[in-house]
Structure 1
Amino acid sequence: MSKLFKKTLIIIIILFGIIATLTSALSGWNIYNGLSKEFTSKGLSIATSISDSSVEILLNRDLSTLQSVIDQYLNIEGVSYVLVANNVGHVVSHTFVPSVPEEIIEKNTANNDSFLKEKHTIKHLSIKGKGEFIDISVPILGGVAGNVQVGMDKSIIKNEIVSIIIKQQVLMFLIFLLTIGLSYLFINRISKPLNALTEHVKTITTKDLTVQNINESLIKTLSDKSDDEIGDLARSFMNMEVELVDYINQLTETTAEKERIESELKIAHDIQMGFLPQKFPPFPERNEFEIFADLIPAKHVGGDFYDFFFLQDDDFTFRGNNKLFFVIGDVSGKGVPASLFMALTKTLLKAKASSDISPSQMLTAVNRELCIDNENCMFVTIFCGVLDIETGEIEYSNGGHNPPYIVSKSRGVKMLGGQTGTALGVHDEAKFVTYKEKIVADEGLYLFTDGVTEAMDVDYNLYSEQRLEDFLSALDGCCETELLVESSKAEVVKFTTGAEQSDDITIMAIKYLSQRQAV
C-alpha cells in the first residue's frame, strides 16, 4: 500500500464519516417530521370520527356500544389507545388494560377546561412501561359532552427511522467500498510511476555521475510514453541528471584546478618565506644584541616583509660589522600582487642599503624606483633604521609606517618620534627625514605592521595601539626577543579568536645588549 493511498484512504474515511453522519441526521429528522405529521393526521381523523359518532351514544349512556366502537379502531396501524371522557374529565370508556395510566388522568384533569375552548389538542406523552405517544384530543359537541383521545404509537416512527437509516448506511458502505477500490486503482496508476521515479533517484547516489547513461533506464521510458504530469516530471529528472553529470564534471575540473592553484600558492608561500630571514639567532657569533621576527600572512602569500643585515661600504667592505640595518614593511593589498611588489621592494632595499647613505636617502632611492611604471598604483609603507651596536645609536626614517616602540624598564614604553612620512610608490618626489635615537643596554625596539593594531575580533573591535601599549607596559622592560614576539602574537590571536584574519601580521623585536657583553 503506497503512502499516497494511505493518506487518500484517511481522507475518504473522514469524508464518508461526515457525509454518513449528516445524511443519517437529516434523513432521520425528515422521516420523523413526515411520519409524525402522518400519524397526527390519522389520529385526528380517528378522534374526529369517534367524536361525531359517539354523541348520541353518550347522551343515551350506552357505554357498551361506545366500548365496541372504540375497540375496533385498535386494529388500525399506529393506534395504541382510545378513550372517551365526559364533560368533567372522567374516563367513561377506554382500551387500556387493565386501567388508564396516571399520565392520561393527570393530563385530562389539567386540560379539562380547554376542551370548551379549543377545537382539538395534540400532545406528546411518555407513559411509563408503555412508551411514547402522540396524544390527539377532540371535544365532543364543543366539549359539552366530553372528549375523545387517540394515542398514536411513536415507536413505529422510531423503528421506521432506524430501518431507513440502516438501509442508507448499507448503501453508503457499499459506495464507500466502491470508492476505495476505484481510488486504489487510480492512485496506484499514479503512484507506480512515482515510485519508479523515486527508486531511480535513489540509484543516483551509487551511479557514476561522470558518464551520462540514462538511455536504457525506466525514467527514459516514462519520459517517452507519458504525456501527462508524470511524463513532465520524468523529463525534468532526466534534465536534472544530465545537468548533474555536467556539474560533477565541471566540479571535478574545478577541484583539480583549485588543487593546482593551492599547490602553486603553497610553493609561492615557501618562496616568499625564503625571501625573509628564517634562521634565529641569525648571528650566533654576535652577542651585542638579540633579534627575532615572525610573519603570519592573511592568505597563502602576502605583502608584509621584514629584513636585517649588516651594512657594507660602496667598495663592498664591512666597517667592522658594527652597523645593523633593519626594516619592516607593508605592501598595499594582499595575495600574489602584494607578494611580488614586496619582493621587488625588499630587493631594492638590499641593493640601495649602504653605510655611506642615511636611511632617508635609502627610502628616497627606493621610492623613485618603485614609482617607475607603477601602473597598478601599488605602494608600500616602510620603517627602516640602522643600529650602531657599539654606541646604541639608531638612525631611522619612516615611509608612512606605524612607528615602533622603545621598550625599556627605566623609560617604560615609548613610541619613536618623528614624522610618519609618505608611503613609497605614491609620489616619486616624496621627501623622507632621518631621525636619531639612542638606546642603552637591555632596551629594545618593537616593530610591527598594522595587521597587529587593526586586527578585529568577532564584534569588529580593533586590537588598537592602546591595547598594544598596555601589553608592552606589562612586560616591565624588554624581555628576550623571541618571547616578546611570540607572546605578542599570541595576544593578538587570542583577541581575534573566532574572527577571520583580515591582514598580514608581522612583528620584529630587537634588544640591545651593549658592546660590553661582546666576547
Structure 2
Amino acid sequence: MNEPAADLAARRRRFGLKTQLLLLLFTLSLISAAAYSAVLYNIDRREIIEGIDGRLKTAVLAVNEIVPDEYHARIVGPDSIPEAEYRLLQYRLSRFAARADLVYVYTYMRFGNEIRTVSTSATPREIERRAETPFFTLYDTAPKALHRAFDDGQMRFDEYSDSFGRFRSIYLPVRGVDERTYVVGADVDLAMVQQRLIRSLQMSVAVGAVMFALSMALGWLLVDRIVGPLLRLTEFTRNMGQRNFQPDERELAAMNAISRRRPDEVGSLAEAMTAMIARLQRYLLEMEQATAARERVEGELSAARDIQVGMLPRTFPPFPERRDVDVFALLESAKHVGGDLYDYALIDENRLFFVVGDVSGKGVPAALFMAMTTTLFKATALTANSTGEIMARVNAELSRDNAQEMFVTAFSGILDLRTGAVEYSDGGHEAPFVRRADRSVSRLPKLKGMALGVIGDAPFETGRFQLSPGDALILFTDGVSEAANADDDLYTTARIEQALATARAETDARHLAEGLAQDVRVFVGATPQSDDIAILVVRYEGAAASPPP
C-alpha cells in the first residue's frame, strides 16, 4: 500500500534538512582542506624554486670560470677540440656537478639553426656505462627557452622533461672573446622537489581529513538526540572501512533492519548505504583486478623491452670498414615480451664472436636473465680459448644462485676472418643452417651440450667447420621454427631450409634474414605472434675481400 502524500512530503523534508546539514559540514571541511593545501603548496613551491634558482645562478657562473676563456673561440666544427682536452674538461665539469648536487652543467653554441653541445658533464651512470655525450653533439630537442636565450641574449629559467628526466634549468648567454655567443647552462633534478611538494600536499590533505572527521563527529552529536541509529550506521561504516570494505553479515542485517523499521530519512540512509556498499564492493573488486592486470602487463613489457633494446646491437653494417664479413640480425617481439637474444663482437682483429639464445619464460624475469646472459657472453668471449670454454664459464655463472631456476638455450661460435674456419658450441639450441655460395643449404650437426643455467659443471663440446667466400651461417630461435598459422601448423626447420635455398644467389646477410622473417609472416598470416623471433646471419666474404690494413 502506498504511503500518504503528507507522510512522503514530511519524510522528504526531514531527509533533506539533515542531508543539508551533513553536506554543509562536508563542504566546509572540503573547502578548508583544499584552501590549506593550495596555500601551503604555493608557499613551499615558491621557496623551493627560489632556492633552486639561486643555486643555478651560482653554478653557471662557476662553470664559466671552469671553462677556459679561449675554449669557445676555437670551436668551428666537430674536430675543433682534441678528444683528450674535451674529456678532461668533461671530467672537471662532472666533478663540479657532483659536488654542487646538479644533474648536468654544460655549454652550447649555435651554428646556423643547429645547437651543438661543446662541453658537458656526465652523470655517474653515464660514466659507468661509458655513455657520455660526445663533443659537438647535435641538440635536436633543444627547448624553446634555449633558442630564445641565443636570440636575445637574456638569461632564462626553464622546466622541461626529456629522455634524461625532468629538470629545472638556467640558460646564461655569454659573449666570448671572439664576439660569438655561447650559452652556459645547468640542470637540477625536479624529482626531489616533487617529493617535497607531494609530502606537503599529503600533510595538508591529512589535516583536512582530520578537520573533516571532527566536523562530522560534531554533526553526529548534534543529531544524536533526534536520530539515535545514525551512530550505529556510523560505526558500521567505520568498521567497513577498516576491513577495506569487506562486508560483515551481522552489520548488513542490522542496516536492513533499520531501513525496514524507520520510515524516515534514517531508514532511507540505511537502505542507500546497503546498496552503496554492495556497488562499491563490486566496483573495488573490478578496479583492483583491472588495475593489477594492467600495471603488471605494462610494467613487465616496458621493463623487458627497455632491457632487450638496450642490450642488443642494432647498427648495420656493424663493421663498415671491413669487407671480409657481412653481419645482420633482427628481433621481432611477440605480444608478451620474452628473452630472445643475439650478439656479436670482434674479439681481436681477425676473429668474430657471435651468439644466439632463447631464455626460458616470459616478461621481466626473462628480460633480466637475457641481459645478464648477453653481458656474460661478451665479457667471457674476450678471454676464453674456445667456444666450449665460453659456454662452460657462462653456464657456471648463470647456475650460481639461480633461485628462479631459469635457463637459456644458446649457440655460439667464433669465425676466423682470415681462413673462414668456424668453431662452435651448442647449449641445447636449434642447430643453425649453412647456405653455401652455390645456394646449397645444410644444417650443422648437434653437439653435446645442455641449456645454460641448469647444472654448473655441464660439459660443452667444441665443433669445427669451414666457410668459403660467399657462404652464410643462419642462426635462429624457436620463434621461427615453431611459428604457427591459423590451423596450428608449425613453420618447421624444413621450411627454413626451403626459404634459404630459394633466396637469390647474391643475397647479402640483411636480405637473407629479412627474407626468412617475411616468409614466416606470410606463413603465419593474421595469426598473432606467439613467441619472439630472433635471426642472426653471418656471411663470410673471404679474406681477399677486405682491404689491407
TM-score of the two chains, using structure 2 as the length reference: 0.48
1:317-328 map, 5 Å: 318=348, 321-328=349-356
Query: One-letter code of the match for 2:410?
Result: I
Report the RMSD for the aligned CA atoms in angstroms.
4.0
Measure how far apart 1:376 and its partner are: 2.6
Query: One-letter code of the match for 1:325?
Result: F
Unaligned runs of 5+ residues in structure 2 are: 3-232, 234-254, 263-268
Contact persistence 2:301–2:363 (CA under 8 A): no
Compared with structure 1, are the counterparts of its residues 226 and 487 closer, same or farther at alpha carbon in structure 2 (3 Å cutoff)?
Answer: farther
SS state of the match for residue 386, structure 1? strand
Compared with structure 1, are the counterparts of its residues 426 and 259 closer, same or farther at alpha carbon in structure 2 (3 Å cutoff)?
Answer: closer
SS state of the match for residue 381, structure 1? strand
1:214-363 map, 5 Å: 224=259, 242-249=277-284, 251=286, 260-261=295-296, 262=298, 265-299=301-335, 301-311=337-347, 318=348, 321-354=349-382, 357-363=385-391
Query: One-letter code of the match for 1:301?
Result: V
CA distance in 2, matches of 1:251, 1:362: 50
In structure 1, what is the equivalent of residue 545 of structure 2?
Answer: 517
In structure 2, what is the equivalent of residue 482 of structure 1?
Answer: 510
Contact persistence 1:410–1:477 (CA under 8 A): yes
Q: Aligned pair 1:494/2:529, yes or no? A: no
CA distance in 1, matches of 2:471, 2:425: 20
Q: Aligned pair 1:467/2:508, yes or no? A: no
Measure how far apart 1:256 and its partner are: 5.5
Deviations 1:107-158 (A, max 9, x none): xxxxxxxxxxxxxxxxxxxxxxxxxxxxxxxxxxxxxxxxxxxxxxxxxxxx
SS state of the match for residue 377, structure 2? helix
SS state of the match for residue 315, structure 2? coil
CA distance in 1, matches of 2:275, 2:490: 48
Contact persistence 2:509–2:538 (CA under 8 A): yes
SS state of the match for residue 367, structure 2? helix
Contact persistence 1:407–1:478 (CA under 8 A): no
Compared with structure 1, are the counterparts of its residues 411 and 292 closer, same or farther at alpha carbon in structure 2 (3 Å cutoff)?
Answer: closer
CA distance in 2, matches of 1:255, 1:308: 41
Q: Aligned pair 1:387/2:377, yes or no? A: no
Unaligned runs of 5+ residues in structure 1 are: 1-184, 187-214, 228-233, 312-317
Deviations 1:195-252 (A, max 9, x none): xxxxxxxxxxxxxxxxxxxx9xxxx99x95799xxxxxx9999856543344445555
Larger Rg: 1
CA distance in 1, matches of 2:359, 2:330: 16
In structure 2, what is the equivalent of residue 64 of structure 1?
Answer: none
Mean alpha-carbon deviation: is it higher for 464-473 or for 348-357? Answer: 348-357
In structure 2, what is the equivalent of residue 404 of structure 1?
Answer: 432
Query: One-letter code of the match for 2:371?
Result: A
Measure how far apart 1:486 and its partner are: 1.7
In structure 2, what is the equivalent of residue 365 of structure 1?
Answer: 393
Query: Between the two proteins, what is the percent identity of the paired residues?
Result: 41
CA distance in 2, matches of 1:240, 1:456: 49
Of 521, 535, 546, the residue aligned with 1:507 is: 535
Deviations 1:451-478 (A, max 9, x none): 1111112222111111111111111546
Compared with structure 1, are the counterparts of its residues 245 and 498 closer, same or farther at alpha carbon in structure 2 (3 Å cutoff)?
Answer: farther
Contact persistence 1:306–1:327 (CA under 8 A): yes
SS state of the match for residue 479, structure 1? coil
CA distance in 1, matches of 2:430, 2:373: 18
SS state of the match for residue 294, structure 1? strand
CA distance in 1, matches of 2:470, 2:271: 77
CA distance in 2, matches of 1:395, 1:283: 21
Compared with structure 1, are the counterparts of its residues 364 and 235 closer, same or farther at alpha carbon in structure 2 (3 Å cutoff)?
Answer: same
CA distance in 1, matches of 2:271, 2:501: 69
Compared with structure 1, are the counterparts of its residues 284 and 488 closer, same or farther at alpha carbon in structure 2 (3 Å cutoff)?
Answer: same
In structure 1, what is the equivalent of residue 472 of structure 2?
Answer: 444
Compared with structure 1, are the counterparts of its residues 249 and 356 closer, same or farther at alpha carbon in structure 2 (3 Å cutoff)?
Answer: closer
CA distance in 2, matches of 1:362, 1:497: 39
TM-score of the two chains, using structure 1 as the length reference: 0.51
Matched residue count: 301
CA distance in 1, matches of 2:423, 2:509: 20
Measure how far apart 1:257 and its partner are: 5.5
CA distance in 2, matches of 1:346, 1:487: 26
CA distance in 1, matches of 2:330, 2:471: 20
